[in-house]
Amino acid sequence: MDDTKNLTTPDSRTARITGEEALAMHAEGRPGKLEIRLTKPLTTARDLSLAYSPGVAEPCLHIHRDPTLAYDYTSKGNFVAVISNGTAVLGLGNLGALASKPVMEGKVALFKRFADVDGIDLCLDTEDVDAFVNSVRYLGPSFGGINLEDIKAPECFIIEQRLRELLDIPVFHDDQHGTAIVAAAGLINAAHLTGRDLAKTKLVINGAGAAAVACAELLKAMGMRPENVTMCDTKGVVYRGRTEGMNQWKSAHAVDTPARTLSQALEGADVFFGLSAKGALTQDMVRAMADAPIIFAMANPDPEITPEEAKAARPDCIIATGRSDYPNQVNNVLGFPFIFRGALDVRASTINEHMKIAAANALALLAREDVPEEVAGAGAGLALRFGPEYIIPNAFDPRLMSRVPPAVAKAAMESGVARRPIIDLNRYSRDLATRLDATAGALEAIAERVRANPKRVVFAEGEEEKVIRAAIAFCNAGYGTPVLVGREDRVNATAAALGIPLPDGIEIHNARLSHSNRRYADYLYARKQREGFLFRDCQRLVNQDRNVFAACMVAMGDADALVTGSTRSYSAALENITMAIEPMPRSVLFGLSLIIARRSGTVLVADTAIHERPDAATLAEIARQSAAAARRLGLEPRVAFLSFSTFGDPKGVIPGSVRDAVKLLDQTGVDFEHDGEMAADVALDPALRSQLYPFCRLTGPANVLVMPGLHAAHILTRAVPQLTSATVIGPLLFGLSRPAQIVPISAGVNQVLDMACLAAHAAISR
């Protein structure tokens, strides 16, 4: 069920907040949770003429001639209406349209946060089905899809069905289908773990409202036999011939059975789906179920039975709830944002059963994969590894965006409801991964090139858990062959403890036992013998220091690149590496960091690792190499030399050396834009430059910032991720004759993976 539906009274078991805190959050600053932002500049009279009168007439006329052009000239293709009349708000009942607005705003926020789908909440003040349907029907042209929410049964069935018939855009009642899809995903995995065939599985559903009916319909569409699905309500079993409390939706799921109570229906049942009320399932009922029973107690805020009670009665059970403080949360946010994302992107005319099943299968398969480190960290201490305690993905798994929408889009195309087919689904999946993650977007072109030219990359600290996980991800991503330096038994034991099998493409090299040790020691001795190193010193370093061994592998051509740094300081790791790998001739060894922001793009900052007070010649060479790196990253460099001074004001020693660096570049005639010295705001704001410094040679915002010293570089790159939503990658090491990258000790799995990919990319570029 929705996480939004865990917002209950302060004394609820699921509450992690007080009512006062919730009210303060909604009231502070601009009230509510939504605002509208412009996507086009409206700063000049010309802008206004293009966006409104007279320019707006052109798209109006084109859409009049061809209505499909609304998707090209307006926001329709990424715009969903979240609509309710407030007759079934959360678990609070009929609060009316106005009181439902906080929930509907929240739903719109979830659409945006998880799938970058824009939306607006519409609260209709009517309980009349005809009036509701007509209101939505006539608003239909504005939207690419309709998400119905918190409408009581049976009206919700009628409203959804009629709107689906009247409109040519997806109409989706999330209370029904969202719950059904996520629960079905969990059931697929629970059945897999217990060796069950859905066609032969006996299911009992307690509850006969919107979500319960949707669950029954979806599971039957997935292959569960109708005679094996028993539905119960407050009157008992929904059986054929029953007249009391029946309607057409319940009647569709009536079965021939002698059972008349929930307790009787559960005897020997494989699965229980609860969409009812706290305490509806007792321990005696659980004991009467089949071996390894599967229990989905989805009532909120309190489940039909708690996991503790269920496990006490049947230790072999698998249980899911609607709560975030227990394993296996059935959370609608896993479904609706991504289902609409896929449906909108192919301009689907509806969301059909084929698309729902595809979403459920995609969720089920994702739960079986290794969980990213940042997701595991959000697990509130729960083990996020496929098994009885983890059969449903975590709502914060970033891979949902690249897995579920493509599955939905593919199903829409296969079932004939897509009006704009996607030709390359793999490319679509990669594009989705970058849509909410600016870092992924900046790295995608690099990753594509590495996939096309896979490399051997040495992971020097191969016994470390996060390094092993990064190496597995490197292999699975198709970047090449990861080489782990470590003892094979330790590496295998760590991988086994993680529950992750090592792919066939991973190599493990024990530095002490390697057949290449003598060759590496000879090489190192030849380099270091006139610096006070004896042969035995070099032999010991190769045998015992993983970084030195890894650097020798790369230097001798046994691998293409290396990544290290997880267990040692940057300076110590750099000292180890440079024993075996020398700087490139006529190059400067320096660190280059990438600051990546979703709206403003990527900015390169140098030097962020080596030079405390670089002289003018060093600054000029750093700028030259940084500009070359920017071009390899797909950027046309605009280099700004930064200082506290802007073009001589105020004066000082440091600005003088920066100014000299600019003169050196001018004298050598480089082929990229550069200027300085200037303050950071002047470098990044063309409008400010044009107003105060019209002679500045930069034609746009600077995207390479050459810092006057290591202190300023460190302050900038360490402060930015703390103060903004931008991501900092690096420092990347430039100037070595062979590719090597050093991650911070605090780096997570994704950072290690990104740096390994960048090291491989550097190997391609040589």
Distance CA 659, CA 26 (A): 51
By CB neighbour count within 10 A (0-12 exposed, 13-18 middle, 19+ buried), where does 660 fall?
middle
Place of tokens 């009181």: 99
648 φψ region: left (φ > 0), alpha (ψ -120 to 50), beta (else): left
Which residues, 6+ apart, have CB-to-CB distance to 36 below 8 Å? none
Q: Are the beta carbons of 605 and 713 closer than 8 angstroms?
A: yes
Spatial CB neighbours of 622, under 8 Å, sequence gap ≥ 6: 588, 590, 606, 607, 611, 614, 706
Structural contact between residues 305 and 296, judged by C-beta atoms closer than 8 angstroms: no
SS3 string, 69-138, reads HHHHHCHHHHEEEEEECCCCECCCECCCCHHHHHHHHHHHHHHHHHHCCEEEEEECCCCCHHHHHHHHHH
**How far, in Å, CA of 735 to CA of 585, rounded?**
9
Give the whole-angstrom CA distance, residue 615 versus residue 723. 30
Axis-axis angle for helices 425-435, 400-414 (nearest 10): 140
Length of the chain: 766
Q: Which of 362, 444, 428 lies closest to 397 in space, CA to CA? A: 362
Rg (CA), the chain: 30
Catalytic annotation present for 390: no
The letter for the amino acid at 622 is I
CA atoms within a 13 Å half-sphere pointing along the CA-CB vector of 462:
29
Local structure of residue 255 (DSSP, 8 states): B
Q: Tell me how crowded residue 134 is: count the other CB atoms within 10 A of its CB.
A: 14
Task: Select which of 5, 76, 101, 107 is catalytic.
Answer: 107
Q: How far apart are CA 568 and CA 579, in angstroms?
A: 16
Q: Among this protein's residues, is 523 annotated catalytic?
A: no
Q: Provide the 10 A C-beta neighbour count for residue 243.
A: 6
Rounded to whole angstroms, the Cα distance separating 761 from 766 reads 9
Q: Which of 52, 73, 200, 663 is catalytic?
A: 52
Catalytic residues, by residue number, are 52, 107
